[in-house]
Amino acid sequence: MDNLRGAALMVLAMLLFALEDMLIKLLAVDLPIGQIVGMLGVGSAVLLAILLKIQRQALFTAALFTPAIMLRAIGELVGTIGFVTAIALIPLSTASAILQATPLFVTLGAALFLQESVGWRRWTAIIVGFMGVMLIIRPGLEGFSWLSLFAVQGVIGLGVRDLATRRVPPETSSLQLSFWAFLVLIPAAAIMMWFNDTTLITPPPSTLFYLGAALLIGIFAYYCIVAAMRVGEISFVTPFRYSRILFALVIGISIFGERPDALTLLGAAIIVASGLYTLWRERRVRGVAH
């Protein structure tokens, strides 16, 4: 039952994240990327702080300074900046397709840093999956855009976040994790704007709705994915992350008029197939071990 609940939470989170991505891309028409990151950080942190107070949970605890949570916050920071930048600058369908490599990166990281056993079949699937990423990015070819590397940054950062989540103390709530992660975005956004020499822009009235909706949807989505990773078995819940690419394709085509080419679709299919195979092998190996 926990696995089914975790899977439902993951699919819901992916739908909500795809909608949030759409709103962020709409915001990027009028606002600089650093300001978007900062506004999302401030708004989300404030709303989460209110929820924590309502539930009588502490805003800050000693667990905040444990290595796992600090590493998780860094991963969230790097991943969010990378992916928000990618959403703003490249097609939504392309950014989302590259993001599907995150579970492969998590498997790779678990093998290298968490001493989890990964056989040659899963190593092969990881390599094939990253080849799918190369098909989308196309380094050295005519269709290459260095801006797509921001999506790769997103994969690395969010992968580190998910790996670190496995080592978070169980007494730390999902709301607390979410609050701390969004709080870190605020100084990061200020640094981004200083580094890029951009100034704050007063949001046009039309963007205020997008911002408010993005905040509410993003918070709920973030809470759902953290809860999903902690409620169900990782190997069962994670495959449902791939539903995001379907939602992103529908939104990209219907809202932004995107037309993903054959190589992008092929690369996305390879990434998803490799990830699903990797997770299937993980479940099978663990089943045999037990």
pLDDT tens-digit series, residues 75-121: 988 998 899 999 999 999 999 999 889 888 888 888 888 777 777 78
Q: What is the pLDDT of residues 126-152, one digit of tens each?
A: 889 889 999 898 876 666 788 999 999
- Tell me how far apart the 2 most distant CA atoms of the chain are, in Å: 59
Residues with Cβ < 8 Å from 251, sequence gap 6 or more? Answer: 18, 19, 21, 22, 92
Torsional sign, CA 94, 95, 98, 103: negative
Look up residue 190 and give its two tokens. 């200020």
Query: CA-CA distances (angstroms) from residue 182 to 49, 247, 254, 269, 275?
Result: 11, 24, 30, 32, 28
Neighbours of 267 (CB within 10 A): 26
- Mean pLDDT, all residues of the chain: 86
Tell me what the mean pLDDT of segment 151-166 comes to: 90
Q: Given the structure tokens 């080849």, which residue do they identify?
A: 131
